[in-house]
Amino acid sequence: MAGNRGPTGAELGGLGLFLAAAFIVPFLAGLALDAILRTSPFFLFLGLLAGIAAAAGGLFARWKRYQ
């Protein structure tokens, strides 16, 4: 397994930024839609679920690289 290397520090930093953005952007979009449409908390929860799904999918895709 000499050819199997783990992620570098820069890759881990990029992963952290990706996870934060994948979670926060849909969450804030849902919050804004709720404020505009006065449907609180429907789009907030929808954005939260979308953010969690996007973060989990991205994390899984990156994790597969190192298997």
Q: Which residue has the tokens 């989990």?
A: 56
The pLDDT assigned to 6 comes to 82
Angle among Cα 27, 32, 34 to the nearest 5 degrees reads 95
* CB atoms closer than 10 angstroms to residue 67: 5
Q: Is the pLDDT of residue 1 over 80?
A: no
If pLDDT is split at 50, 70 and 90, which confidence band does 2 have?
low
Going by C-beta distance under 8 Å and a sequence separation of 6 or more, which residues neighbour residue 33? 39, 43, 47
Helix (H, G, I), strand (E, B) or coil at 38: coil
The pLDDT assigned to 57 comes to 94
pLDDT digits (tens, 9 = 90+) for 16-59: 999 999 999 999 999 999 999 999 999 999 999 999 999 999 99
